[in-house]
Amino acid sequence: MAKHKGRGWHGRLLAAALGVTAVAAATSVWTAQADTTGGRQPQARASAPANGPAGKVAEDIAHASDRGARGVNITIDDGPDPTWTPQVLQLLKENGVKATFCMVGTQAQAHPDLVKAVVAGGHRLCDHTVSHDTAMDHKSEAYQSQQILDAERMITKASGGVRPQYYRAPGGAFTPYSRHLAASRGMRPLGWNVDTKDFEHPGVAAIVATVKSEISNGPTILFHDAGGDRAETLAALREVLPWLKEQGYTFGFPVR
């Protein structure tokens, strides 16, 4: 998976989140124990949400749709955002589409009303870490644990108790450790097949063309509802969603 680059918003978000994660670290403890093959397996010791983890799921990165060969998964990253998320939700509702929202922990914490609106709309939640650090795969296991588990806690609290069902590493920066930890919390690691690169503002036509030309690569399409002006994303979705229906695709969720 290609790393997302040139996203200054996430650098500022990471800096802003340092205080949050520092406080959270004081109340959570993470350890790791070596496995018999010499690798590292995480053993999380953190306060679990009231409804607890949903049970271990597969550790490999999911791409497939639960609707089968003609299924499509719409995934929306980096929010929620008070300007763009409500507009995305309205557009999805108008088209009868359910999506998976990969939320940044600090954004969820700041906008719990939007997290609840996502859940009320029948969409699913995904843990996208506390601060969207695309270099997570070069950081310590303790740091990875903090980013994943604290975001899980933030999103669950903001939603009113609904837990994330997936974990998407920022920029695809997965590690065996982070995949194992997420899966042990009931969050299936989630990849993508079509990167619209909407965060680069390539223009509506380019976003639409990317979906049309790359949907044959697989069903999971990556869009964004935060991190800057998402007007192009909205306009592209208005074209893409009806087009996918015309091609005989149905909308589902990533497999778990």
User: What amino acid positions are annotated as catalytic residues?
Assistant: 77, 224
The encoded tokens of residue 168 equal 């998407």
DSSP E strands: which ranges in 106-247? 124-127, 166-167, 188-189, 194-195, 220-224
Contacts 24+ apart (CB under 8 A), 41-47: 41/177, 41/180, 42/141, 42/145, 42/177, 42/180, 42/181, 42/184, 44/145, 44/149, 44/181, 44/184, 44/185, 46/145, 46/149, 46/153, 47/153
The encoded tokens of residue 7 equal 């996203």
Select from 178, 127, 180 the least CA-distant residue to 156. Answer: 127
